[in-house]
Amino acid sequence: MKELSCDVVVLGTGPAGMAAVAAAAAEGADVVAVEAMEHIGGNCVWSTGYLTFVNSAMQAEQGLVDDVETFVADAARMTAEAAEGYGMVVDEDLVRLFGRESAETYDILTARGVRFSRFIPRPRQHTVDRMAAVVDPWTFRTAFEPDFALPNVRTLFSTTARRLLTDDGRVTGVLVDGPGGATSVRARGVVLATGGYQANPELRQRYQPNFLARGPYLGVDTCRGDGHLMGQAVGGDLVNMTFVPPLVIVSSSLVEDAIAVNSSGARFHDEAGPYEERVEALLGQPGRRGWYVVDDLVAREKATLIGQMPEPAVQAPTLAELATTIGVPAAALEATVEGWNAFLATGATGDPVTGRVVMPPGRRTCATAPFTAIPMVVGVNFVSGGFRTTRSLQVIDVFGAPIPGLYAAGDCLGGLGGTAELGGTRISGGFTLGRLAGRAAARGDADTTVRHSVQGAFLPSRLDTKIALVDLSDSFADSGDAR
Ligand SMILES: Cc1cc2nc3c(=O)[nH]c(=O)nc-3n(C[C@H](O)[C@H](O)[C@H](O)COP(=O)(O)OP(=O)(O)OC[C@H]3O[C@@H](n4cnc5c(N)ncnc54)[C@H](O)[C@@H]3O)c2cc1C
């Protein structure tokens, strides 16, 4: 077996990995990056590219007033909603850390040539406009390519991390598999940035038995939970693993310019509303059927996004013919589209049919023939489970103790998962906390404080075995069990 040694090894090069590599290299560390694909970027280069920043320069330029505590309150509200279905836990300190550090991420990205065009309003999620749309998601990759060309950074492409190496409880490197065979990479800091487990249906189903968790998946197919498994094997504590939210699979940037109709030819929900509500609305339709409808201008501009949809689009020269093709009443579809165009012409921001908020410049009418309909399909894009970490992004083990030498960021983190429903926190969270994880790994930041664990505090008196009667009477009463 070949051997390499370095200061920091970063596993995965999505936004979290790219930022970790850049930060560790900037600290002067000798860095090895391991990437299963042939290039850097991970999921973010294929994404819609909506990024949330708190107190950013872009907000200041537009006179928008934001602050970390408002963001924390927004996150708490969305997490509470997700908690009802998924039993989410949220790490408020981590949410606050992201909130504090995200403005710097905006500065770093823009200094590296990434451009943002406008804010995407999501008033029900973000009470202040703070989610910015990137002009070209590919620039996330070009922004970080120079770091991977630095003399103190080596990158192993088409190489998969398989197992962590440990020595006396400390993580000391990783075994990888690549074109040159197996290699052992020794390091004093390992950053898990391998993304989520969304491309691994078996793992999704293990944590989320809901049938929707087995649905189709859109995204990079190497995100199979390898980091989660490797970290778990050395004791890492995973949280929020059940949060495999079903989504109507569609890029947010396509949704902005589309309306959705049901088998009666009518709109039936706020197309850009919270993900959960979109799924509920679709599942509530006869035959669970719905279609996104766009005109020719949108279809041409967003052809790639339409091509990524799970089921093929259909096109017709008129709305009436489109209606016949998809089996909905022609007059109803024409009336729906007419109503939508009429609403856009008023200049009002709130759509009277569904309450959808549409701000300029995202006010595209559906007027130019031919017209396109794309079947709506429920599946999975993201998962939110990952490791508990300290504030220096060190992975915490199942007994509450930080694991020396092991750090996690991006979709390998669990504690930020509750913010997912807000929108825009995944890529920005990856860049922000990835930067902190890379820096901490390079500096060798080590936190030894033992946290609470599911087992309880590690106190000698608690080691005495006692027989305990756990009172579940309230839960039985709630569930209507008549014992
Ligand atoms: C269609 C789509 C649209 C999206 N839109 C948005 C959006 O608008 N806003 C937002 O915030 N989020 C969005 N997301 C989600 C976002 O892209 C991800 O959550 C984010 O990229 C996660 O960052 P990451 O660095 O943790 O992992 P990823 O970007 O998933 O990258 C992980 C990397 O690790 C590599 N890897 C995996 N296993 C191994 C291994 N064993 N060894 C070596 N390398 C490995 C993978 O090849 C990949 O390059 C979208 C995702 C998709 C699919």
Question: What digits encode the pLDDT tens for the residues 18-31?
Answer: 999 999 999 999 99
407 Cβ inside 6 Å of ligand 1 = no
| Residue bearing tokens 């967003």 | 302
Q: What H or E segment, with its residue span, contains residue 13?
A: none
Rounded to an integer, the average pLDDT of 455-475 is 53
User: Quick one: pLDDT band at residue 483, thresholds 50, 70, 90?
Assistant: very low
pLDDT tens for residues 310-338?
A: 899 999 999 999 999 999 999 999 999 99
Closest CA to 441 of 404, 400, 388: 404
pTM for the full predicted model: 0.86
222 Cβ inside 6 Å of ligand 1 = yes
48 Cβ inside 6 Å of ligand 1 = yes
| Residue bearing tokens 């990205």 | 109
226 Cβ inside 6 Å of ligand 1 = yes
Cα of 202 vs its chain's centroid, Å: 19
Which whole-number Å values give the CA distances from 408 to 30, 32, 227, 398, in the listed order? 18, 16, 9, 15
Full set of structural domains in the chain with CATH: 2-244+381-443 (3.50.50.60), 247-378 (3.90.700.10)
User: Quick one: pLDDT band at residue 77, thresholds 50, 70, 90?
Assistant: confident
Which residue CA neighbors atom 2 of ligand 1 most closely? 47
DSSP letters, 134-162, are: ES-TTHHHHHHHHHHTSTTEEEETT-EEE
Q: How many Å apart are CA 222 and CA 93, to the nearest integer?
A: 30
pLDDT tens for residues 392-419?
A: 999 999 999 999 999 999 999 998 887 8
Residue 44 CA to ligand 1 center (angstroms) comes to 6
Percentage of the chain exceeding pLDDT 90: 74
Lowest mean pLDDT among 170-174, 279-283, 433-437, 458-462: 458-462
pLDDT tens for residues 351-370?
A: 999 999 887 666 789 999 99
Instruction: Identify the three-state secondary structure at position 418.
Output: helix
Mean pLDDT of the chain: 91
- pLDDT for 35 equals 98
Q: What H or E segment, with its residue span, contains residue 238?
A: strand 238-239
Ligand 1 atom with minimal separation from the 194 CA: 34
pLDDT tens for residues 130-168?
A: 999 999 999 999 999 999 999 999 999 999 999 999 999
Which residue CA neighbors atom 1 of ligand 1 most closely? 47
- pLDDT for 82 equals 73
Q: How many Å apart are CA 112 and CA 144, to the nearest integer?
A: 8
Q: How many Å apart are CA 427 and CA 66, to the nearest integer?
A: 20
Residue 7 CA to ligand 1 center (angstroms) comes to 24
E strand intervals along 88-188: 116-119, 131-134, 153-156, 160-167, 170-178, 181-186
Token couple for 443: 């500096």
442 Cβ inside 6 Å of ligand 1 = no
pLDDT tens for residues 180-200?
A: 899 999 999 999 999 999 999
46 Cβ inside 6 Å of ligand 1 = yes
Ligand 1 atom with minimal separation from the 223 CA: 37
